[in-house]
Structure 1
Amino acid sequence: MRRLKYFLKLLLSLTVLLIVNILFAFISFHITSWIYDWLGKHPQGFWLQLWTVVGVFVLFTCTIIILFLIGLNKQRNYWDTVVDALSRLAKGDFTVKLDLKTNEDQFGQLIHGINHMAVELGELERMRQEFISNVSHEIQSPLTSINGFAKALKNMDLPEDKRQHYLEIIEMESNRLSKISDNLLKLTSLESQHHPFEPKHYRLDKQLRHVVLALEPNWLAKNIEMDLQLENISVMADEDLMNQVWMNLLSNSIKFIHATGTITISMTKQINTITIAVHDNGIGLTEEQQKHIFERFYKADPSRTATNGGSGLGLSIVKKIIDMHNGTITVESKLAEFTTFFVTLPLQTDQTRANE
C-alpha cells in the first residue's frame, strides 16, 4: 500500500513537471517573439530554438528559486514552532499541542511524537503531584496525632490511665509513620529497577505454608479457619519478594474478614503457568473499589485501614513484584460476601513436579 502511494505521487509529480515545461515553453516562445518584434530582428532555425530553450530554463529556474524560498520560509516557521514547543516542555509546560498540517512523513512523525510526549509528560506530572499530595496527607495525619497527644501529656494533672492511653496512641501512630516510610522506600526501590532480583527454584507450596504459620497468631486471635489446597509445585522466582506478596495478601484477608470466617488458599496449574487464589468470606469490595485497589494510597475502607495502620501502598508493592515476575494479579469480589485475589506466575516448560 505504501509503495503504491509512493508510485502514484511520483507519477503525479512527473505529470505536473511535464505540464509545467510545456507551459513554460509556450510562455517562452511568446516572450521571445515579443522581444524579437520589439528589437525588429527575427532569428531563424537553430538560434530561434536556442533562445526559446534558454527562456524556458530561465523561467523554470526562477520558479524553482521562488518555490524554494517560499518552502524555506514555511519550513523555518515550522522549525521555530517546534523549537518553541520543546522549549516550553523543558520549562514544565505540558499543555503544548502542535496543530501543524503535515503529511505522514518524517516531519509529521516528529510533530505527532512531540504531541504524544507532551501528553505523557503531563500525565506523569499529574501523577507526581498526586503522589506528593498523598504522601503529605498520609504523613500529616499521624504527625498531627503525635503532636496533639504529646501536648496533652504536658498536663501534669492528667490521670495515669489517660496518660498510658495517649502514649499507646503515640506509639501506634509512630509505627504507622514508620511503616509508610518503609513502604515508600520499598516501592521506590522496586520501581528504580535497581532492586535486587534473584530468581531461583523453590517449593511454592512450602512457602505458602510457612507464611500461614508466621501469621498464625493473627488468624487464631479471630478464630479464622485456614483451608489450604496446595500441590507440590516449584517455581522460578525471587523467594524474598514473593514472600512479601503472600504476607500482604494474607494479612489483608485476616484484617478484613469477620471472626470465625474462612480463608482458602488454592492452586491451579495450567500448561505454562500456575495460579494461586487467596479467597476469604470477608467484607468484600464494590466494583468501583476493585478498579482502584492496586493504585498507590488507595484505601477501600479508610476507617478500617487507618485503625489497622494501613497506608494504601501494600497492594501497589504486590502488583509491582508480580509484574517483575512477568505474572498477573487480579481481584474478584462481592460486597459483604467474598474477596479473591488471583496471582498467576509463569512456569518453565520443562519443569516437573517437585518431590517431597
Structure 2
Amino acid sequence: MKREPGFPHVISRVVMLLAVLYISWGAAFYITKAVYARIAWAPHELIDFFINTTLGFVFFFLIGMIARRIFGDRNQHVFMEMIDALKRISQGDFHVNLDWGFGDRNERQGRPHPYAQLANSINDMAANLKAMEELREEFISNVSHEIGSPLTSIIGFARALKDEHLDREQRDRYLTIIETECIRLSRLSENLMKLAVLDSERHPFHPSPYRLDKQLISLILACEPQWEAKNIEMTVEADELKVNADEDLMSQVWVNLLHNAIKFTPEGGSISVSLSHHGEEAVVRISDTGPGIDEQDQQRIFERFYKADKSRTRTAGGSGLGLSIAHKIIEMHRGTISVHSRPGEGAAFTVQLPLH
C-alpha cells in the first residue's frame, strides 16, 4: 500500500514551488524593466502586468524543465546502476556495494530516502548471498576432504594387498583398516543424508509424551562398554521428568553428546549427566573432564564439518556432523543447545528443551 506523504513534506513542496515562482516573476520584472529602459517605452500597467506574468510563467516552466532534466538523468543513472548490480548478482558476482549518497528524505522523522532503502536492500542481499556461497564452497571442500581421506587409505591398502609376500598378520591388519575406513564412509553418507532430510523438513516429526529421565539412563547404559573400557567414572542425576518430543530424534542428540564426551575424556576421567526442571523447560547438562574447547572454537562448534581439534577428531573417526545434527534437532523442538568450556577444564553441553 502506498504511504501518503506527511504534512511537513507537503508544506516543504509548496514552499519550494512558491520560491521558484517568485524567483521567476522577479526575474521577469527586472528583465522587462531593463528592456523598457533600453527601448524607452512605458507600457500601460495592465499590459506590463500581462507581460511580466507571461514571462514569469515561461521562466517558471523553463526552470522546471531544467530541474526535471537534471534530476531525471540522475534517477536514470541510479536505475541503470541498480539493474547492473542485479545482473552481476544473478551471474554470481556478489561483490556489490551501492552507495548513491542520498540523504534522509524526512530527516526529522527519521525516514531514509527510498533510493537509500533500495540500495541497502540490494547490498544486504548481495552480502547474504556471498555468505551462503562461501558456506557452500566450504561445505563442498569439507565433503571432498572427508570422502577423499578414507578413499585414499582404501586404495593404498588395497594395492598393498596385491603383494603376494604379505604374511597373514599384515594382510589382516590392512583388511581391518579398509573395513574401518568403509564404516567411516558409511557413517558420513548416513549423516549427510540425515542432515539433508532434516533441512528439507521432510523428516517425520512425531512428538509425544515420554519419560526423558528413562531415555537418558537407558542410553547411558547402552554406552557402558565404551566408558568402562576407559575407566571413566559416570555420574547421573536425573529428576523424573516427562517431555513432549520426538523420542527417536532426541535419542540421536543424546547419543551424539554422550559419544563425544566418552571420545574426548581421557583414561580415568569422569562424565557427569544431569536432568533438571526449570520453569517450562527440561535442562540436560552433559559435562566431561576432557581437554576442553577454545573460546574461538565454541563460536563455530555447531557448524557442519567444523572440528575444534582436526587431527584428534580425524584419528577418532569423527566427521564434524554430530553436533550439527544435534543442533538441528534441538531447533526443530524449539529448544537451545550451548557449550561452556575452558581449555584444560573439560566441556559442558547444555540442552534446554520445552516441556510442551
Q: Structure 2: which amino acid aligns with 1:90? A: S
**Which amino acid in 2 is paired with 1:123?**
A
Question: 1:311 is matched with which residue?
Answer: 319
Tell me if 1:70 matches 2:70.
yes
Structure 1 residues 108 and 303, CA, compared in 2 at 3 Å: closer, same or farther? closer
Q: Quick one: distance in 2 between partners of 1:110 and 1:209?
A: 55
C-alpha displacement of 1:127: 1.2
Which residue is 2:232 aligned to? 224
Distance 2:338 2:27 in 1: 75
Say which is worse superposed, 202-211 or 170-179, in terms of deviation.
202-211
Secondary structure, counterpart of 1:323 in structure 2: helix
Matches of residues 1-356 of structure 1 in structure 2 within 5 Å? Answer: 8-34=8-34, 42-103=42-103, 104-348=112-356
CA distance in 1, matches of 2:321, 2:192: 8
Corresponding position of 2:109? none
Give the Å deviation of 1:195.
2.6
- CA change 1:268–1:50 in 2 (3 A) is same
Which residue identity lines up with residue 252 of structure 1 in the other structure? N
Residue 191 of structure 1 and its aligned partner are, at CA, apart by: 2.0
Q: Please say if residues 25 and 57 of structure 2, whose CA atoms lie closer than 8 Å, have aligned partners that are also in contact.
A: no
- Partners of 1:161 and 1:331 lie apart in 2 by 44
Gaps of 5+ in 2: 104-111
Amino acid at match of 2:240: N
SS at match of 1:292: coil
Distance 2:22 2:314 in 1: 84
CA distance in 1, matches of 2:343, 2:30: 90
Question: 1:42-65 CA distances to partner (integer Å, 9 max, x unpaired)?
Answer: 442433222221111111111111
Q: Structure 1 residues 289, 32: CA separation in 2 closer, same or farther (over 3 Å shift)? A: closer
Residue 131 of structure 1: CA displacement?
1.1
> Quick one: distance in 2 between partners of 1:298 and 1:100?
39
TM-score (norm 1): 0.90
Query: What amino acid is aligned across from residue 178 of structure 2 in structure 1?
Result: I
Secondary structure of 1:294's aligned partner: coil
Give the letter aligned to residue 284 of structure 1: G
Letter in 2 for 1:239: E
Is the Cα–Cα contact under 8 Å of residues 21 and 57 in structure 2 kept in the other structure?
A: no
- Alpha-carbon deviation of 1:155? 0.6
How much has 1:152 moved relative to structure 2?
0.3
TM-score in terms of structure 2 length: 0.90
SS, match of residue 274 in structure 2? strand
The CA deviation string for residues 83-103 of structure 1, in whole angstroms up to 9 with x for no partner, is 001101111111111121113
Tell me the amino acid that sits aligned with residue 72 of structure 1: G
Which amino acid is the alignment partner of residue 174 of structure 1?
Answer: C
